[in-house]
Amino acid sequence: MGKNSEEMMITSFYKFLIDDNFTSQIRLPPQFVKDYGKNLSGKAKLHTESGDGWIVRIEQVGQQHFFTDGWTKFAQDADLKFREFLLFKFVGESTFQVSVYGISGCQKELHSCPRTHQQPDYDNLRADDRVPKTKDFNMTAERDDEFDKDDRQKWSFIKKLTKNNASELEIPRDFVLGTGILRNRKLTLVNAKGKKWPVHVTAKRCSRFAMTAGWNEFLTGNRVVVGSTISFELVSSSDNMVEAKMLKEETDGELFSYAKKKRGRPPILHTS
């Protein structure tokens, strides 16, 4: 899959949750802002390995920069606690992959299951809980309402692939519902060269969704390596076309292999 220097740019920083106000805001390291501030917009996208995403505001207070509006929602959903540890991986375009580690030092598993047993109301999901694509503008150069107005209907999410993703990949619930993919439970993945793979979307427990039949064919057809990070963006809502773009590709990892077919015929590979 194609990539350029900006897509491959990645850095990281960590934060210990030892301040009393970590549930309402968190400070970005000054050196990080100095080095990468030009690649940040007035708002950032936070993604976890579960595929869920949150929009947070980047606000300057004096000489410091903080995640503010939207951070409380992330802290609640991730159930952040005092003395826990966060690792932020910056993957470009004002987007961060966030990992949460508990007091024990082990990584916490964050799931998109609702916290109550009540079935979620799919028809009344709030638009501000969904994850649109950010524009690449300077954090002080544009107003935030332009971000909301222009990019509300652009949907994307990011995933770092593990060995467990050989046969399926979980998709954020809000992505499935907001894009309308739930209606026919199918999408088409397209790579940088324009090649396409039809993929089925399967409903899982706890109102979760995953790409299943056709996903492995996409992995093997693109020679994707375990540990790679891929962004997925809806580029055409009429036919559920989703562009898969490599953000970080492992160079010495293990290639995904063909998964054993359970039942049924495999999807047909289409090329443009």
What are the tens digits of pLDDT across the range 193-233?
A: 999 999 999 988 766 789 999 999 999 999 999 988 899 99
My answer on whether 144 and 160 are in the same domain is no
My answer on whether 10 and 99 are in the same domain is yes
* Mean pLDDT value of segment 157-178: 87
Q: What are the backbone dihedrals phi and psi of residue 36, each rounded to the nearest 5 degrees, phi first?
A: -125, 10
Q: Residue 154: how many CB atoms within 10 A of its CB?
A: 15
User: What pLDDT, on a 0 to 100 scale, did the predictor assign at position 257?
Assistant: 82
Mean pLDDT for the chain?
76
My answer on whether 208 and 80 are in the same domain is no
- Examine residue 134 and state whether it is found in any structural domain, yes or no: no
My answer on whether 147 and 162 are in the same domain is no
My answer on whether 13 and 147 are in the same domain is yes
**Contacts (Cβ under 8 Å, ≥6 apart) of 69:** 56, 57, 59
**Residue 268 predicted with pLDDT over 60:** no
**Distance between CA 139 and CA 137 in Å, rounded?**
6
**Distance between CA 119 and CA 160 in Å, rounded?**
28
User: What pLDDT, on a 0 to 100 scale, did the predictor assign at position 261?
Assistant: 58
- Examine residue 133 and state whether it is found in any structural domain, yes or no: no
Distinct helix (H) and strand (E) counts, the chain: 6, 14
- Examine residue 271 and state whether it is found in any structural domain, yes or no: no
CATH of the domain at 162: 2.40.330.10
My answer on whether 109 and 168 are in the same domain is no
What are the tens digits of pLDDT across the range 20-44?
A: 678 888 999 999 998 888 888 889 9
User: What pLDDT, on a 0 to 100 scale, did the predictor assign at position 178?
Assistant: 81
Pick 7 or 163 by higher pLDDT.
163
What's the structural domain count of the chain? 2
Q: Residue 257: how many CB atoms within 10 A of its CB?
A: 11
Three-state DSSP at 12 gives strand
My answer on whether 54 and 147 are in the same domain is yes
**Distance between CA 178 and CA 45 in Å, rounded?**
17
- Examine residue 240 and state whether it is found in any structural domain, yes or no: yes
My answer on whether 40 and 166 are in the same domain is no
Domain that holds residue 232: 156-248
What are the tens digits of pLDDT across the range 82-93?
A: 889 999 999 888
- Examine residue 57 and state whether it is found in any structural domain, yes or no: yes
